[in-house]
Amino acid sequence: MKEEIKVSIAAMIGIAFEFYDFLIFGFLSGILAELFFPSHNKLVSLLDTLAVFATGFAGRPLGAIVFGHLGDKIGRKYTLIITMTLMGLSSLFTGLLPGYAALGILAPILLTILRLLQGFSLGGEFGGGITLAAEFAKPTNRALYVGIAQMAQGIGPLMATGLIFVFSSIMAPPTFSSIGWRLLFVIGAFIAVIGVIIRLRIKESPVFKRIKDNGQISRVPLVEAFKTHWRRILLGLGFIVGGTTLTYATSVFATSYLETIIGVSAKTVSLALTIGYVVEAISILVFARIADKVGRKPMMITAAVGLLILVYPYFYLISTGQFLLIVLAQTLVAIVGSFGTGSYATALTELFPTKVRYTAVSFDYHVGVAVFGGTTPFIATYLIYVTGYKLAPVFWGIGGMIATLVAYLIYKETKGTVFEGQEKVEH
């Protein structure tokens, strides 16, 4: 197997785990609300649980800084092994954690700590994985290999919804609520073990090795990134806002919304989302390959405009509670969003020089996800709570996509960018 493919698969597993574990928490928010935040008001319990979900994202920026620093100082490979190990441990302990009935107030406190640890470890995942995949690829097919890694945005949620569908189908509701959800987190720990094994067998980035051998490593990557590339960091943040908002709106929020507010069964919701994620994984790879031909910018703008048009129809379709319309909504969003998934990630790596790339990409992604992804399920639910209007989340989604569209329009095409040292690396 070509080293580029091995590296992209290694990156994909880590990013898939990110989406799997965090979305498992969100998808199971109804069950977790009852176990860790019992209350007479189900909506209040759900809001408490989604607040913990959001706090998990608070650890991401710190993780991005710490692991970004390590990745730009000691290398991409071993930093990614550390993050995967921490992710697996936090997932395992979450699955084994007793609920409020056994530990009282200590249960939600420990749950929050585990989510913070999970967020901290995830802070080094996306930036490192995407950076490694991009640095192994030639400029002419960089979006393709980054796209392979980005397929995780469909595969991770697909694993989550698929397993929830299987478990909820073979287990009685009381059994799933007591044991089934725990097994899902334990499975996440096994995914981490597989990820660590694969990462031990890949090589270090040849681009990074060359600048390290030449003594070009940055002393403090974060400081240098902000000192010399702060405009690009702001631009990269803009890339993240809209997609992140809609990703969590159409996954975590959509699940809790359909089950808690609309009254659709968990089994039906998970099946509908699973179909959408299959379409998304395939579409990401197809459109990433096209981005190597036509450029990143046209694909990104197409995605942003398309999603802006789809925001209202999406929420309207899922609000009907009808299975086929929910599937249609998820499929449309998956296809249109996939136009830009591989492109924006590739463009992020091309915005920054090798010596600060891990740090800058990680910072952009995880600050954006922390601010706009982690808070989206809570804000969307709260908008419905205070307005009584079940389509109120539309306004949050539109705002996020407008911000991203502006960033895409400002961005100057980076297709064909050659990384420092890459011109001398044999492929």
pLDDT in tens, 175-193: 888 898 899 999 999 989 9
Number of Cβ atoms within 10 Å of the Cβ of 149? 30
pLDDT in tens, 312-351: 899 899 999 999 999 999 999 999 999 999 999 999 999 9
With cut-offs at 50, 70 and 90, classify the pLDDT of residue 421.
low
Higher pLDDT residue, 186 or 46? Answer: 186
Q: Which two tokens stand for residue 398?
A: 């539109």
pLDDT in tens, 126-180: 899 999 999 999 999 999 999 999 999 889 888 888 888 888 888 888 888 889 8
Q: Which of 391, 407, 7 is nearest to 236 (CA)?
A: 407
- Give me the pLDDT at residue 374, please: 67
Q: Which residues contact 19 (CB under 8 A, 6 or more apart)?
A: 152, 153, 155, 156, 157, 160
With cut-offs at 50, 70 and 90, classify the pLDDT of residue 224.
very high
Domains and CATH numbers, the chain: 3-413 (1.20.1250.20)
Q: Given a cut of 50, is residue 291 above it in pLDDT?
A: yes
Cα 395 to Cα 388: distance, rounded to the nearest angstrom = 14
Q: Given a cut of 50, is residue 427 above it in pLDDT?
A: no
- Give me the pLDDT at residue 426, please: 43
- Give me the pLDDT at residue 30, please: 77
With cut-offs at 50, 70 and 90, classify the pLDDT of residue 3.
confident
Instruction: Give the mean model confidence (pLDDT) for residues 368-397.
Output: 80
Cα 33 to Cα 12: distance, rounded to the nearest angstrom = 30
Cα 4 to Cα 133: distance, rounded to the nearest angstrom = 7
- Give me the pLDDT at residue 375, please: 74
Number of Cβ atoms within 10 Å of the Cβ of 302? 17
Mean pLDDT of the chain: 88
- Give me the pLDDT at residue 351, please: 96
Q: Read off φ and ψ for residue 37, nearest 5 degrees.
A: -135, 60
